Amino acid sequence: MGLKSSFMVAKRSLWRRKTKNLSAILAVTLGVTLLVGIQITTNTLENAFLTSLLQNEGEVDFSVVNATTGGYLTAADIANISALVPNAVGIMPELTIDVPIMLGSQFDSSVELAGISTDFPEEFGTFYDWKTGDEIDIGDYLTDNTTILLSSKLAENLGLDKDVALPISVTTEFTNLTVSITVDPTTGNYTATPTYNTERVELTVVAIFDSSRPGIGSKYKMIMALEYVQQWRSLQDTTRETNCISSYLIALKTDHFTTEIDEDYLQEQVDLFEESIPEDTYSVESNRLTFFSVAEIVMTLLSTMLTALGLLVMVTGILLITNVQLMSVEDREFQTGVLRAVGENRRGIVQSILIENVFQGILGGMFGLIGGLAFGQAVALYLVELFGTGQHSVQPVVSQEIVILAVIVGVALGIITGILPALRASRVNIVDALRGIKSSFEEKSGRNLALLGILAVITGVIVLLYNGVLNEAYQPIWVSEGWNTLDEWRTILTGAGLLFSGAGIVLSRFISRTKALNITAIALWAAPVFLFAVAMGEWITDITGLATDILIIGVTEILVGSILIVAVNLPPVMNALRNLLVKMKGLKGVGQIAPALISSHKSRSTLTYAIFAVIMTLNVTVAILVPTNLSSVNQTGEDSRGVDLIVSLNKAEAQIANTSYVEELYKLDSHITDVIAFKTYSTTTDYTKFVAVNDPYSSEFNAQTDLLPIGYGEITSDQIRGNATDTYDSDWRYDFYLSSFPDSITQPLESDVSDEELLDMSKQAWDLFFNSSYTMAAYNVSLDALLSEDRDLSDVDLSGLEGYGGNELEGVEVLQDENGNVIENPVVFTDSFILPIGLQIWIPMNMSEYGVPVYQAFTVAGRLDSNRAGGFPLSSFSVGNILSEGDFDFVDFLGKIYLTEYWANQTNFLAEANGKTSTSRASNQYDCFLIKTTYDIEDQELESIAQTIEEFTNTNDDGYRLLASDNFYVASTTLLYSTVESTLEMTERVVSFLQIYVTFGLVIGAVGMAVISVRNVSERKREIGMMRAIGFPKTQVMISVLLELVVLGVIGLVIGIVNGVVISAGFANMQNATMIIPWSDLGVYLGFITLIALSAGAIPGWFASRIPPAEALRYVG
């Protein structure tokens, strides 16, 4: 019989089995929904993320600056530049300087003040009024050197709203440099003494422009007419030069927000320009290009994560579809037998089933597309709300490919999941089918299978030998070093998976199939379990390379292994359940029936609990993630080393006779027990204060790539050690933890070091830090990985922002000078994640008489723990802040370098090394204060102390401002607990997002159960009739139906809990956190699964129990 008869059979069975087909279509729909949803989510996110980044660029495609760092261009350069970019539609000059801004008690220490010409080219866009939405002609407003326009975003940050009455005034400061020249009367030598004064200026805000609107308004925070900014800037020069332009902005097209510029075209234009510029004149910067690549890196990371998770959830969809298909085939095994008996051939049967599946696939694909659109849109919107990527509305991005993909995948799912059941149907033994024997495959393919098994074994062994033998970069598996990196484990897991699967197939020819499969299943499960439960943390201390593929391989093996273990042992397990139930009064009949049903429909049962096993594994892992991280909060009180509150001033405290800020703080609240004052400094623009990561005196030094804008801090012995005399003294004042140590602290940093031991090591490190004669060798480590062009975010551990964690100095070489002597330097500590331990850096110390910094070399010797208590409190950076606020201060993000008192005093930004500069300060002028109180770290009262401090400092002509007779002081306070909380909040947000996917998996599980229970009941009408006939009460019939589902759900849950705990144990080990199992959550899951099972089974079960037995007995299927 040919295609036509297959068609007929397919058509007839499609029609006759409406409900059964419906479940198959539903299954495909769910699978496709998930796929499309994930795709739309990532596309939308990428778009939203990129838009929010690009918003800052307005219509600017790239900008041209002076090739010398810190140098300026002039008005004359416009001619050259326009000649070099013939494709530009607009060119405009811009001069920016960073200034502080204060409005009442609102303060922003560094705002970009942009000077633009009032008749800038219209290609760059138009400013619109924040309140009215009318066009603003800036020429009407920017008429003098104290008049500015603010962006709505900055206005909001300063606490203004749309109803504010303009004009209002804000205070700023400009630096004024004067040089007095004295002539030595005896020698006749000139001495130039620079004096930096601060000009305090009241600026008038005459209009606020809308910065949420795409265009030029989104680019600027604060604008002034170009000529006036040039005036203010000229104060910084002794020559008072006013013809200064910081960059020429180039627009290659207009309306970037409606149609984004093509990335390749932009790159091409930039390259073209770069090639044609005369040497050492200009250089090109394109934030747009940078944002493109940043978005790409971040999105690749995110979408692999989503896809990995999505794939695992997809697996449940596939399981569901396969299950449904399998049931259809099982269902009509009898009919298939009849068909074969009357002469239909195998091909015909496969064909008719496949035609049916294609039809289901197309329908499912179409419905899935609709579902996916809704799902993707909902998730994308939720995500944007969750991470606050920007206020602009987010449009779900639906590409054409997705539509096609959805249908193709639907059909593919239908066919692929149908092939196995179809083959099974075609292989049906006619006699068995007619007798109603649920047969498995005819064992015809045994030989081929064995061959496949041998092949898998061989491949597995080869893969295992790859480590160390084929690839010398890894150690072989027979030495313990061969097990201590994740890359090695990737090969081990893959090899082991192949080897054990193959071995199982081969073994099954010699020993019983059950035994062979058991061995395979256990081995398959145990290998990744070993990775998670033992190796991670114990042997593998470096997870910086933790890639999604290793996770996927590991988790897949764990899942397959665990599901297989239960599948193979289902009969004995069900027998045990039966023996248990049969002993229970009122459940004896149920016990006789339900477990036997489960083990008799093995594939159906396995597929059903497998769905829950996969979902629950993910769910439990995610559920454990939160409390495990939360446990670090409970630790906060301990980790904060007593500090409850951080106060930072916008600038160094004033020198006031008979008092200090610290003393004033003590007076404010009697609960304050200790105030530790620190000096910090951060710069974004003054490159003479930047740290050099290459020798500034060598010829290879490149100012553009070798200077980093990292902040500084001074740490004195008194601040940390207080009155303590040695490591074991309990009297330390602020013994903060280190996470990386100088190389002379010999204990290897292993993950199972206790907190006490870590603290002792940290104290030893602090002792070394304050020991002025201590030096540490510099190592051959570099920042290249991070700073080079082809940087890869996977080199940086984003999870803990620990950067190069662990034992960095293993396997790196000590640096030697040309005479072969080991280079040893005084040491600095850092909380920056980008500076590896052992790195040699150069810090600008006192100024030479020509105003040029003198660099001193240091070795980065220790890193302050960036996780404990939200990290070292002097850098205001925390993961939570960055991700929640969207835009963040890059300098804060980079962290700080900490110098001892001795070295800090040699600088003119933490002290006044040799004479005053605009940044120098006296030794008693602090700006950051860590406060200890008698309260607990999470006590609400701290809030009111914080408020008191802010009121004291931030009220004009009162409190501290009065004492210092300076209204330009602003204190901002942070509760230490809140920094930890914000990090946690972030974790919870991420988790709640992951939960969406996992929940979707639960929906699939629930649908699976419903489908199964409907089918079970309709298929088993006869059995149910029999049950009733021989005296099963209705309740027991109902319970049998329900129990089967509950048992399957619970099996899945148990597998999920075991797997989830194992996987989480690995992560907890790595993070050195105590794993906390949220039993109550697991209880909720148990309740939830039971509920799903009960509600899925309730209606069919109720119907089943109500069918008159005689009618049920007559049912022939």
Q: 1034-1070 and 588-600 helices cross at what angle (nearest 10)?
A: 60
> What is the 3-class SS of 532-556, one letter each residue?
HHHHHHHCECCCCCCCHHHHHHHHH
* Binding at 437: pick from ligand ATP, other proteins, none (beta carbon under 5-8 Å per type): other proteins
Q: Give me the residues paired with residue 550 across strands.
A: none
User: Per-residue string for binding with ligand ATP, 1053-1092, x by CB under 6 A?
Assistant: ----------------------------------------
Residue 452: closest CA among 504, 497, 492? 504
* Binding at 820: pick from ligand ATP, other proteins, none (beta carbon under 5-8 Å per type): none
CB of 604 to other proteins, least distance (A): 12
Q: Give me the residues paired with residue 1066 across strands.
A: none
* Binding at 515: pick from other proteins, ligand ATP, none (beta carbon under 5-8 Å per type): none
* Binding at 591: pick from other proteins, ligand ATP, none (beta carbon under 5-8 Å per type): other proteins
Cβ-based neighbours of 493, under 8 Å, separated by 6 or more:
527, 528, 531, 550, 553, 554, 557
CB of 613 to ligand ATP, least distance (A): 42
Q: How far apart are CA 735 and CA 948, in angstroms?
A: 27
CB of 1115 to ligand ATP, least distance (A): 10
CB of 571 to other proteins, least distance (A): 11
Residue placing its CB nearer to other proteins in the complex, 8 or 437: 437
CB of 1014 to ligand ATP, least distance (A): 22
Residue 708: closest CA among 792, 783, 780? 783
Residue 659: phi and psi, rounded to 5, are -150, 175
CB of 434 to other proteins, least distance (A): 10
CB of 447 to other proteins, least distance (A): 27
* Binding at 1033: pick from other proteins, ligand ATP, none (beta carbon under 5-8 Å per type): other proteins
Q: How far apart are CA 155 and CA 152, in angstroms?
A: 5
Handedness of CA 326, 331, 337, 339 (dihedral sign): negative
Residue placing its CB nearer to other proteins in the complex, 594 or 665: 594
* DSSP H/E element including 194: strand 190-209
CB of 1101 to other proteins, least distance (A): 16
Residue placing its CB nearer to other proteins in the complex, 427 or 1034: 1034
* Binding at 588: pick from ligand ATP, other proteins, none (beta carbon under 5-8 Å per type): other proteins
Residue placing its CB nearer to ligand ATP in the complex, 447 or 1114: 1114
Q: Exposed/middle/buried for 555, CB within 10 Å: 0-12, 13-18, 19+?
A: buried
Give the binding-site size for ligand ATP (rule: CB under 6 A).
Answer: 2
Q: Exposed/middle/buried for 728, CB within 10 Å: 0-12, 13-18, 19+?
A: exposed
Contact 987, 600 (CB under 8 A): no
Residue placing its CB nearer to other proteins in the complex, 592 or 635: 592
Q: What is the DSSP letter of 164?
A: P
Residue placing its CB nearer to other proteins in the complex, 278 or 1031: 1031
* Binding at 301: pick from other proteins, ligand ATP, none (beta carbon under 5-8 Å per type): none
Residue placing its CB nearer to ligand ATP in the complex, 262 or 1111: 1111
Residue placing its CB nearer to ligand ATP in the complex, 268 or 1111: 1111
Cα-based torsion angle of the residue sequence 655, 659, 663, 667 in order, rounded to the nearest 10 degrees: -130
**Farthest-apart Cα atoms in the chain, separation:** 128
One-letter amino acid identity for 1030?
I
Q: Give the pairing of strands 928-933 and 853-864.
A: unpaired
CB of 1114 to ligand ATP, least distance (A): 6
User: Per-residue string for binding with ligand ATP, 1097-1116, x by CB under 6 A?
Assistant: --------------x--x--
Q: How far apart are CA 336 and CA 334, in angstroms?
A: 5
Q: Which residues bind other proteins (CB under 8 A)?
A: 435-438, 579, 582-583, 585, 588-589, 591-593, 596-597, 600, 1022-1023, 1025-1026, 1028-1034, 1036, 1108-1111, 1113
Q: How far apart are CA 975 and CA 643, in angstroms?
A: 9
CB of 307 to ligand ATP, least distance (A): 54
Residue placing its CB nearer to ligand ATP in the complex, 115 or 1109: 1109
DSSP letter string, 756-774: HHHHHHHHHHHHHHH-TT-
Q: How far apart are CA 706 and CA 997, in angstroms?
A: 44
Residue placing its CB nearer to ligand ATP in the complex, 438 or 1114: 1114
Name residues contacting ligand ATP, limited to 894-923 (CB under 6 A): none
CB of 1111 to other proteins, least distance (A): 7
CB of 1028 to other proteins, least distance (A): 7
Cα-based torsion angle of the residue sequence 500, 503, 509, 515 in order, rounded to the nearest 10 degrees: -40
Residue placing its CB nearer to other proteins in the complex, 720 or 1045: 1045
* Binding at 597: pick from other proteins, ligand ATP, none (beta carbon under 5-8 Å per type): other proteins
Residue placing its CB nearer to other proteins in the complex, 340 or 1021: 1021
> What separation in angstroms does the CA of 1071 have from each of 194, 589, 636, 762, 870?
51, 51, 15, 18, 14
Give me the residues that bind ligand ATP (CB under 6 A), please: 1111, 1114
